[in-house]
Amino acid sequence: MKNTVMTFKEAKNKGEKLTMLTAYDYSTAKFIDEAGINSILVGDSLGNVMLGYEDTVSVTMEDMIHHGAAVARGAKNALVVIDMPFMSYQTSVYDAMVNAGRLMKEGRANAVKLEGGIEVCPQIKAITDAGIPVCAHLGMTPQSINAFGGFKVQCKTEEAAKKLIEDAKAVEEAGAFAVVLECVPAKLAEIITKTVNIPTIGIGAGNGCDGQVLVYQDMLGMFSDFTPKFVKKFATVGEVMKEAFAEYIKEVSDGTFPGKEHEYKIDEEVLKKVIE
């Protein structure tokens, strides 16, 4: 059954955990969808894990639409959330609405996600009023990496922790259907989870959130540039890939691949006429 924003609401009411993973292409989205995930996030983390940038700042609307549409084609049951890239919504409410609309129409998203609290609430309200579900994103918001001065746990001071709680209440009030909490102390994330009525989706925010999200390359052991403390590697797919690539290189080099079973046949009579 297709997951919707109602699935998120009901899960929070029933105390059932929500599951979310990133994906950026059709085949991976299909695997994740078939595994039974609630939601797939086409994160702007694609800038890091797919395109090799050192941060998400350079990711464009065209990148998000291109990858988002591929994921949407592969995700039958998962709710597809597409990230609004840096400067596609911060500039004005008008820009936010136009770009959210493009992610829905061209990227075939079921919802969009944007980073920030009180300062982007006019955007969240306008987008949701237009019938587009919005997931908020608080805590360590990677698009603000230059303002943070690096990837760091956020909200450890009294002032910052209070601001985070106010931001969470504000994005709920503005109409967000869920909020991602990234790199937030677990106890603080738990307080927010109890304070707001929308589901909290944690990444580096402990077990007290209503759901969890991870970047799929991180949890499969496919991305070695940088592994945050909160990542658990559920598999070592990167190693399996390297072994398979090395085996392919060996078999092509020593002539054992392709074998007879990989060949196409031609009628001997036709062949005779070809070489006559």
Residues taking part in catalysis: 182
Cβ at position 102, least distance to ligand KIV in Å = 18
Q: Quote the tokens at residue 124.
A: 């969240």
Distance CA 73, CA 29 (A): 8
Distance CA 246, CA 158 (A): 52
Amino acid 169 reads K
From 179, 225, 226, 185, select the one nearest 204 (Cα to Cα): 185
Cβ at position 273, least distance to ligand KIV in Å = 59
Q: Verify binding: residue 83, ligand KIV, rule CB under 6 A.
A: yes
Q: Which of residues 123-182 bind ligand KIV (CB under 6 A)?
A: 137, 180, 182
Query: What is the DSSP annotation of 104-138?
Result: HHTT--SEEEEE-SGGGHHHHHHHHHTT--EEEEE
Among 22, 28, 123, 200, binds ligand KIV (CB under 6 A): 22
> Looking at beta carbons only, is 43 or 175 nearer to ligand KIV?
43
Query: Could you tell me which stretch among 5-13, 36-44, 93-101, 257-265 binds ligand KIV (CB under 6 A)?
Result: 36-44
* CA quadruple 44, 202, 93, 4: dihedral sign: positive
Q: How many CB atoms sit inside 10 A of residue 3's CB?
A: 23
Q: Quote the tokens at residue 229.
A: 């403390």
Among 65, 171, 203, 220, binds ligand KIV (CB under 6 A): 203
Q: Which of residues 209-248 bind ligand KIV (CB under 6 A)?
A: 213, 215
Query: Could you tell me which stretch among 29-37, 42-50, 68-76, 187-195 binds ligand KIV (CB under 6 A)?
Result: 42-50
Q: Quote the tokens at residue 268.
A: 């001997």
- CA angle, residues 59, 65, 66, in degrees to nearest 5: 90
Q: Verify binding: residue 183, ligand KIV, rule CB under 6 A.
A: no
> Looking at beta carbons only, is 44 or 172 nearer to ligand KIV?
44
> Looking at beta carbons only, is 103 or 213 nearer to ligand KIV?
213
> Looking at beta carbons only, is 26 or 151 nearer to ligand KIV?
151
Q: Which of residues 43-62 bind ligand KIV (CB under 6 A)?
A: 43-45
Cβ at position 142, least distance to ligand KIV in Å = 7
> Looking at beta carbons only, is 165 or 219 nearer to ligand KIV?
219
Distance CA 51, CA 148 (A): 23
Query: Could you tell me which stretch among 28-36, 41-49, 67-75, 190-198 binds ligand KIV (CB under 6 A)?
Result: 41-49
Amino acid 194 reads K
Query: Could you tell me which stretch among 6-14, 40-48, 67-75, 122-130 binds ligand KIV (CB under 6 A)?
Result: 40-48
| 93 contacts: CB under 8 Å, gap ≥ 6 | 122, 123, 126
For the purposes of burial, counting CB atoms within 10 Å of the CB of 231, is it exposed (0-12), middle (13-18) or buried (19 or more)? middle
Binding site for ligand KIV (CB under 6 A): 22, 41, 43-45, 83, 137, 180, 182, 203, 213, 215
